[in-house]
């Protein structure tokens, strides 16, 4: 599982930073990917990556500000030209349906696949969608207009099979290996009972990735980020600019670090930087957050962050 940033700027693009979009690649067997926000030129950024639009299965829009949305109609249209025929699910605040349907009607755009639009409201709870075991959850945040954060939860998986133990117990290679790997107990021809715990090296803990939209510090941000292996949090402004951040419904580097710490996240990636900050300024922004939350980092366009599985037992 890996997360690639297609844009890390706030408000408008500049020469070194596009506006918000991020692609999350799911592990096998899905091998599909989900897109979080689609700022202007999102599909142009995708052309630089090995990601195919035909493999895109879910789009999650955090809110309807243009720097998170203007690239969506073109991207959805291009998916048809890129061989996309499988259904695509689009999640976003109320109004996303009208935006897409009006744009397509006025431009005469016709898709070659089914677009399933699901609008979210302030009371959304529970699992929105599940794909090969990966669950999608959303909750409202604090911004100037309705805005949501998303949490992706991967299921636990068994560890590797201990072939030495399998051979010692006389388990023949083939279907029985698969049953044990799936957590099923098997009985051999001589009556020997072999349990998965006897021949599997612990378990791999499911990964959690939390991607928040624009937000001021709030309880739902912490809740969505609880125990996350990777938390993506906006840091529009530097520390000390909390008053300005609140006025526009945003956060500072220290706000992001505080949320990560309270949530018990394992890693924090900051994004959505104001145009006042150059690439050279990012190391200073990272250091601000790291003073409170050491596992803090900053995103740049095309940066890729691997999310590794942890083993238990």
Residues designated catalytic: 67
Closest among 144, 102, 138 to 122, alpha carbons compared: 138
Contact (Cβ atoms closer than 8 angstroms) between residue 54 and residue 82: yes
State the pairing for strand pair 2-7/304-306.
antiparallel
Asked whether residue 143 is marked as a ligand-binding residue, the answer is yes
Report how far residue 27's alpha carbon sits from residue 308's, in angstroms, rounded to the nearest whole number: 11
DSSP H or E segment with residue 152: strand 148-153
Residue 182 Cα distances to 73, 226, 267, angstroms: 41, 28, 30
Residue 272 annotated as part of some ligand binding site: yes
Does 68 belong to an annotated binding site? yes
The whole-angstrom separation of Cα 178 and Cα 103 is 49
Residue 281 is assigned to a ligand binding site: no
Alpha carbon distance 139, 302 (integer Å): 27
Tell me the HSE value of 199 on the side-chain side, using a 13 A CA sphere.
Answer: 25
Residues 6 or more apart in contact with residue 209 via CB below 8 angstroms: 1, 3, 24, 151, 152, 228, 229, 230, 232, 307
The length of the chain is 313
Of 30, 22, 32, 7, give the one whose Cα is nearest residue 61. 22
d(CA 148, CA 253): 19
* Residues 79, 89 contacting (CB under 8 angstroms): no
233 appears as a binding residue in the annotation: no
Any binding-site annotation on 44? no
Within 10 angstroms of residue 135's Cβ, the number of other Cβ atoms is 17
Q: Which DSSP helix (H) or strand (E) runs through 179?
A: helix 175-181
- Binding residues for Zn(2+) are 63, 65, 67-68, 143, 214, 272
Known binding residues: 63, 65, 67-68, 143, 214, 272
């Amino acid at each position: 599982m890996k997360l690639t940033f297609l844009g890390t700027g706030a408000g408008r693009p500049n020469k070194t930073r596009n506006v918000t979009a991020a692609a999350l690649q799911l592990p096998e067997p899905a091998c599909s990917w989900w897109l979080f926000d689609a700022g202007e030129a999102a599909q142009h950024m995708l052309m630089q990556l090995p990601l195919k639009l035909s493999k895109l299965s879910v789009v999650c829009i955090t809110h309807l500000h243009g720097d998170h949305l203007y690239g969506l109609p073109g991207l959805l249209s291009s998916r048809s030209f890129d061989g996309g025929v499988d259904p695509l699910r689009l999640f976003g605040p109320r109004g996303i349906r009208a935006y897409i349907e009006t744009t397509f009607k006025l431009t005469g755009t016709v898709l070659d696949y089914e677009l399933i639009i699901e609008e979210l409201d302030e009371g959304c709870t529970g699992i929105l969608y599940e794909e090969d075991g990966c669950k999608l959850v959303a909750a409202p945040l604090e911004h100037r207009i309705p805005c949501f954060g998303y949490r992706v939860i991967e299921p636990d998986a068994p560890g590797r099979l201990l072939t030495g133990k399998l051979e010692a117990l006389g388990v023949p290679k083939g279907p029985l290996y698969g049953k044990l790997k799936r957590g099923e107990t098997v009985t051999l021809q001589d009556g020997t009972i072999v349990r998965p715990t006897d021949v599997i090296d612990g378990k791999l803990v499911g990964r959690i990735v939390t991607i928040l939209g624009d937000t001021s510090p709030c309880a739902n941000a912490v809740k969505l980020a609880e125990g996350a292996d990777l938390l993506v949090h906006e840091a529009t402004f530097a520390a000390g600019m909390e008053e300005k951040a609140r006025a526009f419904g945003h956060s500072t580097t220290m706000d992001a670090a505080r949320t990560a710490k309270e949530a018990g996240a394992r890693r924090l990636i900051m994004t959505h930087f104001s145009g006042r900050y150059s690439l050279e300024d990012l190391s200073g922004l990272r250091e601000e957050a790291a003073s409170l939350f050491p596992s803090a980092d900053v995103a740049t366009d095309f940066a890729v962050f691997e999310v590794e599985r942890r083993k238990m037992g």
